[in-house]
Chain A
């Protein structure tokens, strides 16, 4: 297999094709590195508008981002809360009367011979 026998068009497609794939994904990387910054900027602006912070106070980016650990802790707390809700019972103990359905299988009536004595 001699790669030199391949025509120039094939080489062009190979090099250019791979290059375009790279460019497309690098472009996406650029966009997705920028998007969080824009979102953070938006959040800051919204916070300022709501006067939740002093105008001169500096907000560190980390404060606006909830980390995975924090999310996990919140999720765990919620999970425990909703699971334990089940344990809050009314504390009223009711003894249910056991109702048995009639069953003739051991009835005395059927275990005696109903013999008519002559009068």
Chain B
């Protein structure tokens, strides 16, 4: 040990001597130019100070850092979508550390590491990969066993189009309005995908709004459910879904892929990956690929997506009146989508007889926040009747909401690109 310390001690001394020599040289050069050693030191310190975050800070940076910390707090304390809010919250902090521009540090500076990672968001690479993972982990059997519940997924997309209308009325361009409207789909990856194509400048605000409202599903949806669905209808018990054969499960992604992408080819990256992931799962012969898609890959992409979307909220880009408007429109959009699903479910009951009647609460799961809104429906169902389990039934409109919002995104793309 003694030898080790001696050896490395001598080596470090030799290295430091080299610097001291350099320092003397610099000092000599300085004195030649008429500067004193103290002048040099103060200049060096001044340069260092100019590089620090303190010198470049603006009060807006601190506001955004507080927002990031709040996201992390929500995720840890209340368990609101922690897998999303922790990376996004950290990203918000990362993106708002003040720095001297021009040194390839920030997300928006070409050549910076964050800029390279942001490429996946900017070019819409990450959302389809997330959809691949979602497809590989989703069981569509509840939907296949009772396909008529799919219509609730379409009904809830009213939020997207109502917000599109509202955003246009508020003065946004049609492209921006389309990108804002997709928040009503309650689908983060779709929102990022569409906004990266239609309104890249608003993407940070749209993504943050979409993910925030997804995290707030347990807060936003229950009051609307209680408002729209009367108590006696909340007690309706649905008959258990029939068992679905393996052939049907394999046919679903293939038929779904062909039909939906032929109708809306612009949504091909999203729907293609979603159904491909599901085929990997259901085929039963590609378990290794399905396992990677639903675990390792989706986790990696979620980390990259969360951190870069968070970092894209640099105060100077994010803290604008447009962002406030987007947050307001997003909230309305989410409420309209939930209400749309619920009202349509009640409407469907007028045409259904006997034990085919559905519990209208599952209409709220038509928004595609998988599986949070289905979980909220289950929770509300149990509150009214502890023996009424609605989770499996709610998963049907929930996954059809994913398909519906991706189709809607494709339609908006084809109209507005």
Contacts and interface: CB of A to CB of B under 8 A. Distances in A.
A10 B165 CA distance: 7
A21 B151 contact: no
Contacts of B177: 10
Contacts of B161: 13-15, 17-18
A31 B252 CA distance: 10
Interface string A73-97: 0000000000000000000000000
B390 to A, nearest CB: 16
A68 B145 CA distance: 11
Contacts of B256: 28
A98 interface: no
B412 A13 contact: yes
Contact of A21 (B165, B259, B404, B415): B404
B242 A65 contact: yes
Contacts of A15: 161
A23 interface: yes
Contacts of A36: 248
Interface stretch (A1-9, A52-60, A111-119): A1-9
Interface size class on chain B is 35 or more
A27 B259 contact: yes
B243 interface: yes
Binding site of A, secondary structure by majority: helix, strand, loop or mixed? helix
B362 interface: no
Binding site of B, secondary structure by majority: helix, strand, loop or mixed? helix
Nearest to A17: B411
Name which of B157, B168, B170, B260 has the most chain A CB atoms within 10 A of its CB.
B168
B407 interface: yes
A7 B165 CA distance: 10
A14 B259 contact: no
B255 interface: yes
Interface of B: 143-144, 147-148, 150-151, 153-154, 157-158, 160-162, 164-166, 168-170, 174, 177-178, 240-243, 245, 247-248, 251-252, 255-256, 259-260, 263-264, 400, 403-404, 407-408, 411-412, 415-416
* 6 A-B pairs with least C-beta separation: A32-B147, A25-B154, A29-B147, A10-B168, A14-B161, A18-B161
14 contacts: A6-B169, A7-B168, A10-B168, A13-B178, A17-B161, A18-B158, A20-B407, A23-B263, A24-B407, A28-B147, A28-B256, A28-B259, A33-B148, A35-B248
Interface of A: 1-3, 5-7, 9-11, 13-15, 17-18, 20-29, 31-33, 35-36, 39, 65-71
